[in-house]
Amino acid sequence: MKPNLLLCAILGFCTLGFAKDKGDVRDVTGCLSQGDSAKEFLLTGTDGSTWEVRSDRVALADHVGHTVTATGVVSNAAMHNMKEDTKDMAKDAGMKKSNTEHGHLKITDVKMVSDSCSK
């Protein structure tokens, strides 16, 4: 059992060394919809990713039902980026499960792409 634990630890540290620097700020283009509360929204990216979004700077309610490009800061960016890297490595190794992403963004800017969302 100890060799397995050691192997997992080594693999984890190696993964950190090869992790891509994605940064804390992301641009996501997709459809904005209302979330579970007045200040919660869901951004479904054109790449299939989903993001729970909030903003103190932008009136997101004004863009519900629109296709937007949102710029925001990823919550828990280091952990989020490691999760994405792990999914990418699994996909590269031949795993067939979907590689779509889910995360949390604090939106700092929104640009409307279209006044409707394509389905």
State the CATH architecture for 22-114. Beta Barrel (2.40)
Domain boundaries, the chain: 22-114
pLDDT confidence tier of residue 103, bands split at 50, 70 and 90: confident
Smallest CA-to-CA distance from 68 within 78, 79, 82, 53 is with 53
Side-chain half-sphere of 54: how many Cα atoms within 13 Å? 9
Average pLDDT over residues 85-107: 65
pTM metric for this prediction: 0.64
pLDDT confidence tier of residue 18, bands split at 50, 70 and 90: very low
What secondary structure letter does DSSP report for 104?
Answer: E
Average pLDDT over residues 9-18: 50
Average pLDDT over residues 42-68: 93
DSSP helix/strand/coil, 100 = coil
